[in-house]
Structure 1
Amino acid sequence: MANPANPWLPPAEYIATLPRATAYACLYFTDTEGRPFQLRATYRTESWQWPGGNMDPGETPWETAVRECHEETGIVFRGEPKLLGTHFVSDRGEEWPANHIGFIFDGGVLTPAQIDAVVLDPDEHSEFAVRTLAEWEREMTPRNFARLAEIDRARRLGTTVYVETGADV
């Protein structure tokens, strides 16, 4: 018999009461001079992002980051997982009716030859760029730049960060 003060629900019923969330994972790269590498999204031209995307059913965040990086850039990443940070965006209503949680992994340093060999998926990204943080700040929304700056700082300091941002991600 269920305790009215603490009713037990079968897992499927309990899960239906919880907030919804989606998850993405990506790799953060810099060039040999420490400048961040990013891709311009085709669906939102003001949006710059790292190689990555939403998790598929059954995938881990690491598997997602490596798969998406290859699909979006042609880069076959063979390094080990090193988490730089997690990113949380709250439910944005009709625009994205679920919380969105990201896992940003360290992709390391890309050589000039690796950058020259990048092949973008034209359905997802129109261009890639390597810029200094000051240059990125002029190109990005303040919230997206704050996320970039936090991840870059975590990389330089050898730490991890937790970042929350609003709806313009």
Structure 2
Amino acid sequence: MTQQTAEERPGIAAAIVVHEGRVLMVRRRVSEGQLSWQFPAGEIEPGEAPEEAAVRETAEETGLDVTAVELLGERVHPKTGRLMSYTACEVVGGAAEVVDTEELDALAWVTLAEIPEYVPYGLFEPVQEFLDVALTG
């Protein structure tokens, strides 16, 4: 059995959802290494743009209706080895709650100052730069 490379596995799209001065974070039931708190995210489906996947995954996991605003960047995640894309999103409607109870056990709206408590190893630089502006404006 051969190991799959990052190119062979679907990429992961993460939604950076900012609303009323906070960013949405979710806690996975099964953490990926150190990653227990993270942004709503999931695999990009064939033929789907990363921004579309971020919007879909946010709805599937949290019930929140969001729209993609801007693709902030992509990288191979240093902890998981998966290709990640990060999309800034804004809330269109609904209320965030744990909808996907198989994958998630909690969610939180996090202030800029609280992010290090949830993500102690730091955020991808373009995401941090976006949040530095979005959560202080």
Same structural fold, with TM-score higher than 0.5 when normalized by the shorter chain: yes
- What is the RMSD computed on CA atoms of the aligned residues? 2.9
Q: 1:65 to 1:40 in 2, by over 3 A?
A: same
Superposition deviation, residue 64 in structure 1: 1.4
CA–CA separation in structure 2 for the residues paired with 1:28 and 1:136: 13
Instruction: Assess if the C-alpha contact under 8 Å between 1:120 and 1:127 holds in 2.
Output: no
- Partner letter of residue 37 of structure 1? L
2:38 maps to 49
2:17 maps to 29
1:164 maps to none
Larger Rg: 1
Q: Please state whether the residue corresponding to 1:154 is helix, strand or coil.
A: helix
Q: What per-residue deviation string (whole Å, max 9, x for no partner) do you get for residues 145-167 of structure 1?
A: 232x6414225558xxxxxxxxx
Asked if 1:103 corresponds to 2:80, the answer is no
Structure with greater strand percent: 2
TM-score by length of 1: 0.61
Asked if 1:38 corresponds to 2:25, the answer is yes
Asked if 1:118 corresponds to 2:120, the answer is no
Superposition deviation, residue 43 in structure 1: 0.7
1:161 maps to none
Aligned residues: 126
* Stretches of structure 2 lacking an aligned partner (at least 5 in a row): none
CA–CA separation in structure 2 for the residues paired with 1:51 and 1:146: 14
TM-score by length of 2: 0.73
- State the 4+ residue runs in structure 1 displaced beyond 3 angstroms: 155-158
CA–CA separation in structure 2 for the residues paired with 1:20 and 1:28: 22
Asked if 1:133 corresponds to 2:121, the answer is no
Q: 1:152 to 1:120 in 2, by over 3 A?
A: farther
Instruction: Assess if the C-alpha contact under 8 Å between 1:88 and 1:102 holds in 2.
Output: yes
Instruction: Assess if the C-alpha contact under 8 Å between 2:51 and 2:68 holds in 1.
Output: no
- Partner letter of residue 41 of structure 1? R
Superposition deviation, residue 123 in structure 1: 0.5
Q: 1:154 to 1:136 in 2, by over 3 A?
A: closer
* Stretches of structure 1 lacking an aligned partner (at least 5 in a row): 1-18, 159-169
CA–CA separation in structure 2 for the residues paired with 1:153 and 1:27: 15
Q: What per-residue deviation string (whole Å, max 9, x for no partner) do you get for residues 47-106 of structure 1?
A: 1111120112332212211221111011222x344111223226x7xxx6xx41111111
Which of 127, 130, 137 is the aligned partner of 1:154?
130
Q: Please state whether the residue corresponding to 1:118 is helix, strand or coil.
A: coil
CA–CA separation in structure 2 for the residues paired with 1:80 and 1:20: 24
Structure with greater helix percent: 1
